[in-house]
Amino acid sequence: MPRVAVLLPTTTYRATDFVEAAEATGIDLVVVSDRRQLLADQMGDRFVLADLSDAGAAADAIVGAGPFDAIVAPDDTGVLAGAIAAEALGLPHNPPSAVAATRNKVALRRALRDHVAQPAYQVLERGSDVGAIAAELGFPVVVKPLSRSGSQGVIRADDEAGVRRAERRIRMILAKCGVNPNEPLLVERFVTGPEVAVEGILVGGELTVLAVFDKPDPLDGPFFEETIYVSPSRLHPEVVSAVTDLVTRAAAGLGLVTGPVHAEVRVSRGVPVLIELAARPIGGHCGRALRFGLLGTSLEEVLLRAATGGRIDRAAPGAIGALMLPIPASGRLVSVQGIDEAAAIPNVDGVEVVVPIGERIEAVPDGDRYLGFAFAAADDPGDVEAALRAVMGTVRVEIDPAGRRS
């Protein structure tokens, strides 16, 4: 029975999904996490406590808990520790330097400078003139923190006054998150056009594309909260092919050779432009929308099988989609209504709220999470999108703007 370490920060939604996938695939699963959680009691001696934010120390803890046949890191927090540990154990791995580049937006841009089309950019150091930098790039621009994810702190600005406001707000967000507010920021020229997400797995440097998702809601700013994902993409097949070719070249340019890849790509006037590339699968619960093979196996099963040399099933026939239920405003979550009605909408597979009632929540760009998720499947992508939009119109959220955590 293959023994696999899966690195799961306590903030992940994936713990139960991986435990179930391991049981389905006959894998001896060891969970590595940064804090004890309910799963620790279930796993017993197959739970390893490690600070995943300290990649070197976490890698040492993983090596000490070995041997393993594979290491899987499905969240950003653990990808570097996983790469370091796999290298030390002689397992298939991505070079730690390549993984580190995916965790830093400037490092990613620099590493891929000669490999793929990317937005024009400059680095904003504390004390530099953001207005001058943005004017040189050409408005509109997007300003991003280097250390955050999930659209947190990502703001579009259309003029000099707007870009100065964006810098001030981002630095306030960083301070609120306990991050150095003086860290460099990334300023990019805004890329027009629709955005798609590409999900794939690398084996021996060869990329197998699992899905290409359309994002039918325009992501034009000023903030960039994602809502609906639908696959297969309805873009022209030649455009989809160009998108997947871009992601393949980007992964190779970084030196990634194994494991999951998740990319965000804009299609500007028919030309794909790389926005993000991560050495992990799709985030949150969105992966639950994906099903593979005739039996409809889960993404987690596919990841575990691929890591241990097993087959990679093709996506199941038909169209699927996921809705990230948006947080409409910052404050204390008072109630969420309409969940049962939403779940009964034709083609909807499930609706789940992941934020407890009474919790303090932050809307984008201040926050980095979602209220919940919904999933849909049908024969046609248009029917999937329609079902998820119906969910958005059915779920009703009450937030107390002045409320604190109860």
- CATH assignment of the domain containing 387: 3.90.1170.30
Q: How far is CA 246 from CA 82, 341, 384, in A?
A: 26, 41, 27
Confidence of residue 9 (pLDDT cuts 50, 70, 90): confident
CB-based contact 156:222 (threshold 8 Å): yes
> Structure pTM?
0.93
pLDDT score for 19: 87
Identify which has the larger pLDDT, 241 or 221. Answer: 241
CB proximity list for 265: less than 8 A, separation 6 or greater: 195, 196, 197, 198, 243, 246, 247, 272, 273, 274, 275
CB-based contact 253:120 (threshold 8 Å): no
CB-based contact 230:387 (threshold 8 Å): no
Total tally of structural domains belonging to the chain: 4
Question: Is 142 found in the same domain as 104?
Answer: no
Q: Please identify, among 189, 223, 238, the residue that sits at the C-terminal boundary of a domain.
A: 189
HSE of 402, CA atoms in CB hemisphere, 13 A:
0
Question: Is 241 found in the same domain as 105?
Answer: yes
Question: Which residue range forms the structural domain that includes residue 390?
Answer: 318-406
pLDDT score for 406: 44
Question: Is 155 found in the same domain as 42?
Answer: no
What span, in angstroms and rounded, lies between the C-alpha atoms of 211 and 189?
28
Q: In a 10 Å sphere around its CB, with 0-12 CB exposed, 13-18 middle and 19+ buried, how is residue 300 labelled?
A: buried
What span, in angstroms and rounded, lies between the C-alpha atoms of 366 and 368?
7
Question: Is 156 found in the same domain as 261?
Answer: no
For the cut 70, the answer to whether the pLDDT of residue 149 exceeds it is yes
Q: Which of 7-16, 28-37, 187-196 is least confident?
A: 7-16
Instruction: State the residue for tokens 């992601």.
Output: 247
**CATH code of the domain containing 180:** 3.30.1490.20
SS3 (DSSP) at 340: helix
Q: Please identify, among 62, 97, 132, the residue that sits at the C-terminal boundary of a domain.
A: 97
What span, in angstroms and rounded, lies between the C-alpha atoms of 129 and 163?
10
What is the mean predicted confidence (pLDDT) over 309-320?
Answer: 90
Instruction: State the residue for tokens 């594979």.
Output: 70
Query: Crossing angle, helix 76-89 and helix 55-65, to 10 degrees?
Result: 50
- Looking at residue 1, what DSSP letter applies? -
Q: Which residues pair with 33 in a beta bridge?
A: 49
For the cut 60, the answer to whether the pLDDT of residue 38 exceeds it is no
Lookup: tokens for 341 = 């009605």
What span, in angstroms and rounded, lies between the C-alpha atoms of 198 and 129?
35
Confidence of residue 295 (pLDDT cuts 50, 70, 90): low
What is the mean predicted confidence (pLDDT) over 334-360?
Answer: 95
Question: Is 160 found in the same domain as 216?
Answer: no
Look at residue 307 and tell me if it is in a domain: no
For the cut 70, the answer to whether the pLDDT of residue 294 exceeds it is no
pLDDT score for 66: 85
Question: Is 184 found in the same domain as 146?
Answer: yes
For the cut 70, the answer to whether the pLDDT of residue 145 exceeds it is yes
Question: Is 342 found in the same domain as 248?
Answer: no
What is the mean predicted confidence (pLDDT) over 9-36?
Answer: 84
What span, in angstroms and rounded, lies between the C-alpha atoms of 175 and 177?
5
Confidence of residue 13 (pLDDT cuts 50, 70, 90): low
The per-residue pLDDT for range 161-187, each reduced to its tens digit, is: 999 999 999 999 999 988 899 999 999
Look at residue 166 and tell me if it is in a domain: yes
What span, in angstroms and rounded, lies between the C-alpha atoms of 361 and 268?
34
What span, in angstroms and rounded, lies between the C-alpha atoms of 142 and 156?
4
Task: For residue 67, say if its preceding peptide bond is cis, omega within 30 degrees of 0.
Answer: yes
Beta strands in 1-149 (DSSP E): 3-7, 28-33, 47-49, 70-72, 121-124, 141-145
- Our CA angle for 367, 371, 377, nearest 5°, is 125
Look at residue 285 and tell me if it is in a domain: no
Look at residue 106 and tell me if it is in a domain: yes
Query: Residue 236: which of 217, 205, 214 has the closest Cα?
Result: 214
Mean pLDDT (the chain, rounded): 92
Query: Residue 249: which of 281, 283, 206, 195 has the closest Cα?
Result: 206
Look at residue 42 and tell me if it is in a domain: yes
User: What percentage of residues in the chain have a pLDDT greater than 70?
Assistant: 95
